[in-house]
Amino acid sequence: MRSFAKPRVVVSKCLEFEACRYNGERIPDKLIERLNEYVEFIPVCPEIEIGLGTPREVIRLVADGDETKLMQPNTGMNLTSRMNEFSLEFLGSLKDIDGFILKTRSPSCGVFDAKVYSGLEKAPVLRTEAGIFASHVKEHFTLVAKEDEGRLKNFIVREHFLTRLFTVAEFREVKKEDSISKLMQFQAKNKYLFMACNQDSMRALGRIVANHEKLANEEVFTQYEDELHKLFHRMPKPNDHINVCQHVFGYFSKHLTKAEKDHFLTSLDQFKEQKIPLSSLLTMLRSWSYRFENDYLLQQYYFTPYPESLVAISDSGKGRSLS
């Protein structure tokens, strides 16, 4: 059974950890609860950190020309500078961060969807954008995975985020060993995972590991890390997974009965038509890997990119958009 490196993840403190939301509530979150065993969380509430209490007066983002300000309508306080200063200091102190899970729609932590109003009170929403703290996260941690708890309720978003999180954490451990041999092993075990995510990046990573230019280890790991983050910029599409599954199927096709082959090919079509989840295909391929004692495939992280206990029974394909 695969052992997993422990990702370091910054999380909004109001999610599962502490009753520090503006209304004094704590927001239960099943994913974060399940992740707690496998992840080193760094909880933070930027609004508490800049001196606001719990509960507290509502704050909002307000457009002011080309700028966005963080305001507290009932007091008229402009909190923008305080939030900027805290964000820069806090983010600058972080090391070895693999991801962020932040509170959706929050004027401080919203990653994508914080509302920006045209005025302090009874004003229309002009647009949505990242909250003040989250915008600094995006600038400071350009390549690191960033999601909000709302989007992570979608199976395919969550699956990609977790895959990215645990893959990058594993690489971080390999990097500490400063061994090109260990990096080559990491590359080999991720061959089919990388193929599903981005074949161009997969090939680029292979060239970096080969190191024909005889670069120093530090430069090899730096280049590899940059390309690894690029690999996860897009989510795999159904045809990407079908391509990988067909490659893996090729290891067994000569040893299977016609009925088994037909069943697998029918399952590929069902997956493409969104009738079954990817896990159905992977279960078949993995069982054949055991049956035919294919150690190379059994070591592939494509089958278990993150701890299996993080996939709840209710997740098995439900709510999964494959288009």
Residue with tokens 């209304």: 23
Residue 96: pLDDT band by 50, 70, 90 thresholds? very high
Tokens at 285, concatenated: 């391929």
Mean pLDDT of 142-171: 96
Is pTM, for the whole model, over 0.95?
A: no
Mean pLDDT of 52-77: 96
Domain boundaries of the chain, sorted by first residue: 8-153, 155-323
Mean pLDDT of 157-163: 95
Mean pLDDT of 250-263: 97
Q: For residue 277, how many other CB atoms are within 10 A of its CB?
A: 21
Is there a contact between 114 and 60 (Cβ–Cβ < 8 Å)? Answer: no
Residue 121: pLDDT band by 50, 70, 90 thresholds? confident
φ, ψ of residue 126 to 5 degrees: the values are -90, -35
Sequence-distant (≥ 6) Cβ neighbours of residue 57 within 8 angstroms: 22, 72, 73, 74, 75
Indicate the SS3 state at residue 1: coil
φ, ψ of residue 115 to 5 degrees: the values are -80, 135
Q: What is the CA radius of gyration of the chain?
A: 22
